[in-house]
Amino acid sequence: MPKLRRFFSTLLIVMVFGVIAPLFADNASYTPDPEITARIASDPSIIKSKLISSMNKILENPATLTIELTPVDDEHTARGRFKKIEVFTSRGSIDNLTLNRADIDFEDVQLDTRKLLEEEKIDPVSMSNINMDVSILESDLNAFLESKSKSIKVDRPRIELTPGNMALSGSTKYGLVKVEFWASGHLSIKSGKEIWFHAGKMKVNRMTMPRSFVGMIIKKINPVLDLEKFPFRLNLEAIELKKGEMHFISFRTGENTATK
């Protein structure tokens, strides 16, 4: 069961941290490069083209990728500052996990324009807020889980999503014994930074187990995700389980740093 905990941590790191973490750095002070500013002033469209190239480096073969910019004015655009940058993508993959849809909004954002143009790297130096809305299909979760089955040492792993409920099944070693397990329950958010799995029912080798035993197993899994471990911290607001789909949203208030 400790392998299950590592799997869920890996899964949600991919869903949350895998997309977002490469996009941020902590820069207390930033001054746009004058030469880069001049290049953007002569061709403002280079910002969007470089943003698209950067996202294509993060996501593998997205079916769609759209980026919309809301400028302040021409001067701020040349310096890499925007009222809002919106990213809309579908069917892009990270580490064999396909995101059915991912929408990310950066509000009042200052980009590092040198890194964007020369390295094709998205590095928001400052921002006021970031909102993220992601959905992942059950079939994609299971394909990802199957690809990780050897590393997490779980045979025939499977997730089933229904409204408000998630079921896990497979076989693994528990102590010295190989057991088949099945658990059904729901997810909850604690303190905006932890995701916990709560099992309403659990069976091992097709036998219903007493609640005390279930609690012992689940204790090894939880928290499924602890955002305190990540250098970039999101604030999870809601997780919704639908039939065949997991959907979650996150909101974080950032820090705004005025450019020189």
DSSP 82-134: EEEEEEEEEEEEETTEEEEEEEEEEEEEEE-HHIIIII----EEE-SEEEEEE
pLDDT score, position 17:
44
* Residue with token string 């012992």: 216
State the residue for tokens 């329950």: 185
Q: Domain limits of the chain?
A: 2-12+139-245, 31-137
Query: CA-to-CA distance for 26 and 192, rounded, in angstroms?
Result: 21
Q: Is 238 in a helix, a strand, or coil?
A: strand
| Nearest to 30, CA basis, from 111, 109, 99, 94 | 111
Listed residue (250, 252, 256, 255) closest to 103, CA to CA: 250
Span 178-233, pLDDT tens digits = 778 888 888 888 877 777 878 888 887 877 666 666 666 566 666 665 555 443 45
State residue 7's pLDDT score: 56
Q: Can you tell me the distance from the alpha carbon of 247 to that of 243, in angstroms, rounded to the nearest whole number?
A: 11
Q: What is the pLDDT of residues 34-68, one digit of tens each?
A: 999 999 999 999 999 999 999 898 888 899 999 99
pLDDT for 214 equals: 60
CA 188/CA 209 separation, integer angstroms? 22
Tokens 């919309």 — which residue? 68
Q: State CA 222 to chain mean position distance.
A: 18
The whole-chain average pLDDT of the chain stands at 80
pLDDT given at position 45: 96
For the stretch 141-163, pLDDT in tens is: 889 888 877 876 778 888 899 99
- Higher-pLDDT residue of 28 and 166 is 166
Confidence of residue 258 (pLDDT cuts 50, 70, 90): very low
Angle at 220 between CA 216 and CA 224, to 5 degrees: 130
Predicted confidence band at 236 (pLDDT cuts at 50, 70, 90)? Answer: confident
- Whether the Cβ atoms of residue 165 and residue 184 lie closer than 8 Å to each other: yes
